[in-house]
Amino acid sequence: MKKKKLHVFQLVLSSALLILVSCGGANKMINDAGTIAYEVSPTVLEMKGDSVEVSVTVKYPPKFFNKNAVVVVVPAIVWQGGSSAYNKVTLQGEKVQGNGEVISYETGGSYTFKGKIPYKDAMLKSELILKSTVSIKGKDAIPLPDAKIADGVIATATLLQNEALAIESMNQFQRRQVISAESKINFLINQAVVRGNELTKEDMKNMKKFIADAEKDPNIELKNTQVIGYASPEGPEAHNQSLAESRQTAAQKAIARDVKVEMLGTAAGEDWDGFRQLMQASDIENKEIILSVLSKYSDGATREAEIKKMAAVYSQIAKEILPELRRSRIVVNAEKQGKSDSLIIALATANELTGDTLSIEEYLFAATIAKDQDEAAVMLTNASKIYPDNWRIFNNLGCIYVDQNKFADAQQAFANADNLSDGDKSVKNNLGVLAVKQGDLATGLEYFEIAQGAGSEVRYNMGIIKVKEGDYSSAVSMFGSNATFNAALAKLLNGDVDGATQTITKADEDENAAAYYLRAIIGARTKNVDMIVSNLKVAIQKDPSFRERAQKDLEFRTYFENQDFRATVR
């Protein structure tokens, strides 16, 4: 019986000693935690893209890491009221059977952790804490002291203004519009006599009506009449020039009774340009050979000689082409005064359509002089009912909806424009703008890549995405020479403080509070206290939310105790 009790006592004693040793091993690691060394990059955490990336190297000294220990390390960004953890890392002593990274007891060792987590606004004032627990021989884990290893998070990239640029369709509205009517008088070969039937043709009647209507319309002013005489390119060039002059004079006399405005006469001579156009439009056999002669030779006589060598073809040319070139062109020019702005606005916003309907160009112009975006949307909505097949109207309507954050309406308008235009690149750009505005960068980038060539706006928009992705070098390239807030921000994020300073100075951003805040950050990076304080004052005056941000913003960390800085942000 005594022997049995002795065995029980020995077992209890052994267990107690084991627990004591185990706890002692953990306690030693806890007590020696201050000897652990840390290297962190970056030393102050910074948001890049939409994440906070960090690299941490932990160095354990010799005689620290218990051979039976399992240490679980969890780096975390901690702020008041919350935290976000990186992936955990498991380390183990030499006698532990497991998959963790082994740290030697005798020589110590190190491990490097790299990871990233999504950025949150609360991280602006935070710390990077290394949380660890240690377990000896599978016992309950005991926490090691937390280690603060970095401050965080600089989030200057969040100042990016989501100003992706839409491309509106330009209107061709002209207040004073040049209008014209054209007719012609044909002549027989080598003659300059106006035949009576030439003055009764349909195009001549239309020209006379144009003149009569213009004379009655107070908004139309007849300006002049051009009369140009031509000759077909056959025979001596000097003869043809004289013939063209005679035809111009004859035509001018023939219409003098009906045309009372100033006449401007010109003799064009041999009409090789007209010959080329008629040949290209004809179905004459071997016409490509004829056209090649025109390209090869510039001298009229040589051209004529080469063409006449093709006798069969030339006879067809003489029958179908040359008679049309023996003529005088008559062009009556007038200037039409457009509607006033007030009338255009009234018609564009009318609830009911009237007989005086605006043209497409007038509707597009009306939207540019509307008192606000709501009125412009009404105008283009009305226009879309009258011209439902015009993609430019829907495109510009979509741009207005984007500005108003009416994304569903914008999507429908751009979809209509995309279908009607057969995928115009400017519409693709605008679909990309809409995607970016809604936070879908991947779709936005796809549209911008398709839209390449639509305008400088496309590259600028790709620059916006590159900043959001954290690719600041590419963003700077995409923004090019644009002097905007975002272009200056990209240069600053890319480490070009001087370039950022020059760009924000050139930018037209006097009313933009963020521009002054950016200048203050530049002041901090260049150690210019006056620049910090003066610009922060304006930024806070224009947008009081910058006061709270500046109090936390680690861009100003070396000035948190500066009296002038504190007075500015308190």
Structure tokens belonging to residue 353: 């359509």
| 233 and 328 inside one domain | yes
| 92 and 207 inside one domain | no
Whether 67 is in a domain gets the answer yes
| 259 and 328 inside one domain | yes
Q: Are 206 and 199 in contact (CB under 8 A)?
A: no
Return the pLDDT at 519: 98
Q: Residues 482, 486, 491, CA angle at the centre, nearest 5°? A: 80
One-letter amino acid at 22 equals S
Q: Residues 157, 160, 163, CA angle at the centre, nearest 5°? A: 160
Return the pLDDT at 18: 39
Distance between start and end Cα atoms, the chain: 80
Q: At what angle do helices 391-403 and 360-368 cross, to 10 degrees?
A: 20
- Name residues whose C-beta falls within 8 Å of residue 162's C-beta, 6 or more positions apart in sequence: 436, 437, 464
| 149 and 220 inside one domain | no
| 299 and 182 inside one domain | yes
The residue to which tokens 């439902």 are assigned? 388
Strands 44-48 and 147-154: parallel
| 149 and 197 inside one domain | no
Q: How far apart are CA 410 and CA 452, in angstroms?
A: 21
Q: Which of 20, 25, 10, 107 is nearest to 70 (CA)?
A: 25
- Rg value, the chain, Cα: 41
Last residue of a domain, which of 124, 154, 184? 154
Q: Which of 300, 369, 548 is nearest to 556 (CA)?
A: 548
| 142 and 180 inside one domain | no
Q: Are 532 and 551 in contact (CB under 8 A)?
A: no
Q: Which of 126, 111, 110, 113 is nearest to 53 (CA)?
A: 113
Q: How far is CA 361 from CA 214, 338, 356, 358, 387, in A?
A: 22, 11, 14, 8, 11
Return the pLDDT at 499: 97
Whether 322 is in a domain gets the answer yes
Q: Are 429 and 402 in contact (CB under 8 A)?
A: no
Structure tokens belonging to residue 476: 């700077």
Q: How far apart are CA 250 and CA 255, in angstroms?
A: 9
Q: Which of 184, 169, 178 is nearest to 221 (CA)?
A: 178
Return the pLDDT at 357: 82
- Name residues whose C-beta falls within 8 Å of residue 273's C-beta, 6 or more positions apart in sequence: none
Q: What is this structure's pTM?
A: 0.69
Whether 260 is in a domain gets the answer yes
Query: Which residues in the chain come in under a pLDDT of 70?
Result: 1-24, 353-356
Structure tokens belonging to residue 41: 């990059």
Q: At what angle do helices 311-320 and 300-308 cross, to 10 degrees?
A: 110
| 142 and 189 inside one domain | no
Q: How far apart are CA 74 and CA 96, in angstroms?
A: 20
| Residue 142 CB coordination number (10 Å) | 16
Whether 438 is in a domain gets the answer no
Structure tokens belonging to residue 368: 């540019």
340-347: long-range contacts (C-beta < 8 A, 24 or more apart)?
A: 341/369, 344/369, 345/369, 345/370, 345/379
| 150 and 203 inside one domain | no
Question: Which is it for the CA torsion 304, 307, 311, 316, positive or negative?
Answer: negative
3-state secondary structure 387-445: CCCCHHHHHHHHHHHHHCCCHHHHHHHHHHHHHHCCCCHHHHHHHHHHHHHCCCHHHHH
| 313 and 186 inside one domain | yes
Whether 198 is in a domain gets the answer yes
Q: How far apart are CA 307 and CA 426, in angstroms?
A: 47
Whether 312 is in a domain gets the answer yes
Q: How far apart are CA 397 and CA 419, in angstroms?
A: 15
Q: How far apart are CA 198 and CA 251, in angstroms?
A: 10
Chain centre to alpha carbon of residue 41: 33
Whether 83 is in a domain gets the answer yes
Q: How far apart are CA 462 and CA 435, in angstroms?
A: 12
Q: How far is CA 520 from CA 492, 515, 516, 526, in A?
A: 12, 9, 6, 10
Give one DSSP letter per residue of 206-257, joined into a string. Answer: HHHHHHHHHHH-TTEEEEEEEEEEEE-S-S-HHHHHHHHHHHHHHHHHHHTT
Return the pLDDT at 525: 97
CATH number at residue 246: 3.30.1330.60
Whether 283 is in a domain gets the answer yes
Q: Which structural domain range is residue 70 located in?
A: 24-154
435-440: long-range contacts (C-beta < 8 A, 24 or more apart)?
A: 436/162, 436/164, 436/461, 436/464, 436/465, 437/162, 437/164, 437/402, 437/405, 437/407, 438/407
Rounded to the nearest 5°, which phi and psi values hold at 486? Answer: -65, -35
Number of structural domains found in the chain: 2
Q: How far is CA 504 from CA 38, 442, 488, 526, in A?
A: 38, 29, 5, 15
| 317 and 202 inside one domain | yes
- Name residues whose C-beta falls within 8 Å of residue 488's C-beta, 6 or more positions apart in sequence: 499, 500, 501, 503, 504, 507, 515, 518
CATH number at residue 68: 2.60.40.2550
Last residue of a domain, which of 337, 358, 382? 337
| 30 and 129 inside one domain | yes
Last residue of a domain, which of 307, 337, 367? 337
